[in-house]
Structure 1
Amino acid sequence: MCRNIHQLHNFEPPATDDEVRAAAIQFVRKVSGSTKPSHANEEAFDRAVDEIAEATQRLLDALVTTAPPKNREVEAEKAKERGRQRFGIPA
């Protein structure tokens, strides 16, 4: 599950609210061991996602770096290439 959480810091344009929330959902799914909470746990699950998304956004807003921002398309292509090499898939 957590392999779907992607780095969100130091990209241009910055991470969107949707990307931050998606990362929070994946984290809560991993920690809870549930991809879809039961009705009884839905409120706690949703509250945890909201709190983690807020904390993540605060973290991203507070981080500083001297490195130039990364390009999303270039980083996505690098990830695809790593996957091809890992699984022996021709380019």
Structure 2
Amino acid sequence: MQDFALLEEGLALMALGMGFVFVFLTVLVIVTTLMSLVLGRFAPEPAKPAAGAPRPPAPARQDDALMAVIGAALHRYRQRHRR
């Protein structure tokens, strides 16, 4: 008889805990959605760039010596760490 009462109490505690977590997560989703709607309504729209605005300059080309050093480092690393 004692085992059955203990099992019943454990199941009731489990249901209470799962119910609490379910209610908390539901409230969290609702509050997050409402917050998103409120901020979307009052936040300013991002400025659109003008059609004739100049583009930023293209990145400069890499130095050939730097590329050679990087290539040599990769070659040495791959030689030491073969699969």
TM-score by structure 2 length?
A: 0.32
Higher helix share: 2
* Larger Cα-atom Rg: 2
TM-score by structure 1 length?
A: 0.30
